[in-house]
Amino acid sequence: MTLHTFLFSGILSLLPISELRGAIPYALAKGVPWYAAYLFCVALNALIAPLLFLFLSTLHRLLLKIRVYEKLIGRLIERARTKIKAKVERFGYWGIMIFVAIPLPVTGAYTGTLGAWILGLNMKKTILAVAAGVVIAGVIVTVISVFGIQAVSFFTKKIG
């Protein structure tokens, strides 16, 4: 366990493509205990929601001053809101939590937060839903990674 391992795991936790799906397995493969890998990576990944929500809101307000952006993005956001309004009202923040909790490509804290922001959902409730989803995704990824590493280790000993 080196500082390099924690830094790289932290970077992977914060990157949109890898998030927990890359960070936790990397940390475990480098010898970080499962509980330390889980806590560290989940904590960093949960920070994405408030940071991204604030960034998007601020950037959007600044860009709204540009007429082309206002017309193009304004229409896209309104179209997205009306198109999936019924589904969002049906599942709400539980839906965001479940979406973030599924550790598959294109699901995660970034996509969940972006979707909630586009739909104009409440920031605090979104942050809580995303954080809960990250906690669940972290458990799933950690369990799969620990058992995967144990299985590989077992079969490697049997073959070798």
Q: Is residue 113 part of a domain?
A: yes
Q: Is residue 76 part of a domain?
A: yes
Average pLDDT value for the chain = 90
Tell me how many domains the chain contains: 1
Question: Which has the closest alpha carbon to 148: 29, 60, 17?
Answer: 29
Q: Is residue 105 part of a domain?
A: yes
Measure the N-to-C terminal CA separation of the chain; round to a whole number of Å: 26
Q: Is residue 33 part of a domain?
A: no
pLDDT tens digit string along 125-148? 999 999 999 999 999 999 999 998
- CA 67 to chain CA centroid, Å, is 32
Q: Is residue 22 part of a domain?
A: no
* Position 30 confidence tier, pLDDT thresholds 50, 70, 90: very high
pTM for the predicted model, two decimal places: 0.87
Domain interval for residue 127: 46-159
The Cα–Cα gap between 47 and 83 comes to 29
On whether the CB atoms of residues 87 and 95 are closer than 8 A, the answer is yes
Q: Residue length, the chain?
A: 160
Q: Is residue 112 part of a domain?
A: yes
On whether the CB atoms of residues 134 and 109 are closer than 8 A, the answer is yes
pLDDT tens digit string along 60-105? 888 888 888 888 887 888 787 777 767 777 888 999 999 999 999 8
Q: Is residue 7 part of a domain?
A: no
